[in-house]
Structure 1
């Protein structure tokens, strides 16, 4: 804890709030060197006594700590109000913010929203949708630092007043109810396994942070018995992977309706790029030769995320490759057919000012997923019968990446090399594409047959 103190202290009047349940809560607010602090209380007497202690310390000329908990030095070692689970979550995401990618910030905010809602023990003045919207803004450090709108701030005051204290995570019944809450969506349906996994990882990390903040001695999740869950990496269903004929027919359909996007989809189909990698591809990343097979050199990605989650304020700003440090590169094969498509795209459509091949129609920013998603849906409707189009075959543009990786594996490219090209670990690659390697069972059966025949 820092020893820095200040005598620039302002103590505000008590703030009361009546909840729908009829209960009234009270909040003491004060500032130290311009930094605001607050403490919630269930009764007027407790709040008033605490406020009077602050006033007395200020009148006696005591210095107040500039950092948490913002108390006069004589009160630091006294029993002070525990932070709410909401306040703990805000402090946690502030700690994570500087080193987190924009996409991870948004994902973490979503997880913390679900955790906080599960820790509320009273009603707020808005419905569930508006509550989650306000919490998502609260878990955006940039927006919170700039100052949230008055209506959002009012909702968050409600949240602070009815939220359990962070130390109540240690109550097994409370923690089990939180786990149950984050396992479900807002409409009560069971959340997808990967969503549950992400939320539980966030909860564990939040409680580890609480241990650092000395809210607990050990992580409460280690102390309770819960149903053990196994989260397997989702395998690619071969039923979504288009074959060579279907892939080319789809690209031909795109050429007829959205010629500016043919090369974009071809990058996923032939080179296995993720959409955010294709969106950031520049002229300088292409093969040197205008003809024949070569290599694409990937240097970054441009995930689709709002400007409020980025440091620059730019929507979908460029960042490093997935699971790579800034400056890392990855080489992927560029078939001669893809090379021809890319250079034809350059001749016809040119590039954005920064050299990107693909850009938004209106402002030249990132190519929107809604734009290329509609183009892909139109191509499927042209190529497939209504029955096939209603199914999962090539339903998402991302399924073209699965087609590329499956093609590499099924043409005897070593898995280690395929993993390197795809930007996966070898373990993840083999698990994800286990069902897409054609002929594996036939080959294994033939080997066993030869083995038995030899005995």
Structure 2
């Protein structure tokens, strides 16, 4: 919404006829004459007094209606964007996982402070995000008490939040799209982040269509190019089997106990292509570990990490269904003898937690992502050259999963079987790992040579 501070207050004009008497308040906004009629002198002077107070407070005026923004907010019908965002999150709260709640709220940390009127005394953006994080975007029974400064920030935000119906205007939508295109520090955001936030914004507006607040999604009418996301695994991040074994050996040398406990967890990510949250919930009853030969893992659940404010239990880890699968769906993964032996040794040495989880701390808890990252960073430092340490090579534990899937594909395992074990669709699998398929070009060239010789 555009605003102007070019305001000049006029006078109260009395106009009488035989049947009635009216009092007309006159003022000028952006050099355009404005007027409003009242039945009594008191109402007219009260209105003019409100205009005067708004100008003294340095408040912007809407050049379209000629009203100060605070008065415009009061007159608008329907929910504000903040109110509707709160309703959207609360309606979905019990239907979504903690990480989904966190991701949606993170998008709103950008959108809500951007979709506001230019009222004076705006709090700092970080103050507004903090109020949203701990109070405004939380269920009532989870809201933290606010300090006086935070309460003032929330009051400003509630007053300044634009009416949801303002989002039919293209310039308002572009204002929102700009907000999700930059980081909180003001730098360009990663393409994947922008696409994710834009998808959430689109879904919020679709929900408004369902609520009959819009006839159609207004975002579809804005010509805005969605940045291209990175979905393909970079081959530079993929380790070969020798490097993988060296990294796993180095993991056990990190710390006094933590590295020993995490070595087999990382090995499960590499040899079975488990996602880290799947490895975190791997249990004894999920594993068939014979004394020789191949074993089998039957995955049932995952154990992702999220901030405690978003979880149902108030703990950082919660057990959920597998990614892209129903609540009781499983995934079977044959595992090689080397992983079978490592799991058997790990279980014998550390035993399982009370709930059957194989990988846990000494007190039975799940390791945090920070703990994973620290151990992995140290293992890379012990394994790689200085040039490799600053490279993309196995920069994250998750890259072990990429290495596993790439190895299976290049070993000639059919894509359907690889997708089944990794928990992908075949289409996604081939798209994501397209650049990691080594040797295919040479094979195809030899086939063409053979055909040309005929």
Shorter chain as denominator, the TM-score bin is 0.7 to 0.9
- In structure 1, the partner of 2:243 is 246
Task: Please list, as runs of the form range in 1=range in 2, the aligned pairs for 1:44-193 lying within 5 A after superposition.
Answer: 81-122=77-118, 126-138=123-135, 140-142=137-139, 144-151=140-147, 152-193=150-191
Instruction: Pick which of 231-240 and 121-130 moved more.
Output: 121-130
CA shift in 2, pair 1:215/1:145, >3 Å: farther
CA shift in 2, pair 1:19/1:178, >3 Å: farther
- In structure 1, the partner of 2:400 is 400
- In structure 2, the partner of 1:209 is 207
Task: After superposition, give the CA deviation of every residue in 1:313-366 in whole Å (9 maximum; x if it has no partner).
Answer: 2321111111112121111121100000001001111121111111234x5322
Where structure 2 has 5 or more consecutive residues not aligned to the other structure, the ranges are 1-49, 61-67
- In structure 1, the partner of 2:449 is 449
CA RMSD after TM alignment: 2.5
CA shift in 2, pair 1:131/1:240, >3 Å: same
Deviation at 1:119, TM superposition (A): 0.3
- In structure 1, the partner of 2:379 is 379
Does the 8 Å CA contact 1:294/1:335 hold for their aligned counterparts? yes
Task: After superposition, give the CA deviation of every residue in 1:373-429 in whole Å (9 maximum; x if it has no partner).
Answer: 111111111111111111111111111001110111011111011111111111111
Compute the TM-score of the two structures, normalised by the length of structure 1: 0.80
Alpha-carbon distance between aligned partners in 2 of 1:126 and 1:228, rounded to the nearest angstrom: 31
Task: After superposition, give the CA deviation of every residue in 1:207-226 in whole Å (9 maximum; x if it has no partner).
Answer: 111122232211111233x1
Alpha-carbon distance between aligned partners in 1 of 2:386 and 2:55, rounded to the nearest angstrom: 51
Alpha-carbon distance between aligned partners in 2 of 1:310 and 1:261, rounded to the nearest angstrom: 24
- In structure 2, the partner of 1:227 is 224
Alpha-carbon distance between aligned partners in 1 of 2:171 and 2:413, rounded to the nearest angstrom: 52
- In structure 1, the partner of 2:313 is 312
CA shift in 2, pair 1:235/1:139, >3 Å: farther
- In structure 2, the partner of 1:268 is 269
- In structure 1, the partner of 2:304 is 303
Does the 8 Å CA contact 2:114/2:175 hold for their aligned counterparts? yes
For the residue of structure 1 that corresponds to 2:296, the secondary structure is strand
For the residue of structure 1 that corresponds to 2:332, the secondary structure is strand
CA shift in 2, pair 1:139/1:287, >3 Å: farther
Deviation at 1:153, TM superposition (A): 4.1
Does the 8 Å CA contact 2:300/2:321 hold for their aligned counterparts? yes
Deviation at 1:451, TM superposition (A): 2.3
CA shift in 2, pair 1:351/1:102, >3 Å: same
Where structure 1 has 5 or more consecutive residues not aligned to the other structure, the ranges are 1-15, 26-39, 48-78
Does the 8 Å CA contact 1:306/1:315 hold for their aligned counterparts? yes
Deviation at 1:160, TM superposition (A): 1.0
Alpha-carbon distance between aligned partners in 1 of 2:102 and 2:307, rounded to the nearest angstrom: 9
Compute the TM-score of the two structures, normalised by the length of structure 2: 0.80
- In structure 1, the partner of 2:431 is 431
For the residue of structure 2 that corresponds to 1:295, the secondary structure is strand
- In structure 1, the partner of 2:33 is none
Does the 8 Å CA contact 1:287/1:334 hold for their aligned counterparts? no
Does the 8 Å CA contact 2:167/2:218 hold for their aligned counterparts? yes
Does the 8 Å CA contact 2:191/2:230 hold for their aligned counterparts? no
CA shift in 2, pair 1:389/1:170, >3 Å: same
Task: After superposition, give the CA deviation of every residue in 1:207-257 in whole Å (9 maximum; x if it has no partner).
Answer: 111122232211111233x13336455111111111011111111112233
Alpha-carbon distance between aligned partners in 1 of 2:249 and 2:165, rounded to the nearest angstrom: 60
Task: After superposition, give the CA deviation of every residue in 1:287-321 in whole Å (9 maximum; x if it has no partner).
Answer: 14243211111111111112221223232111111
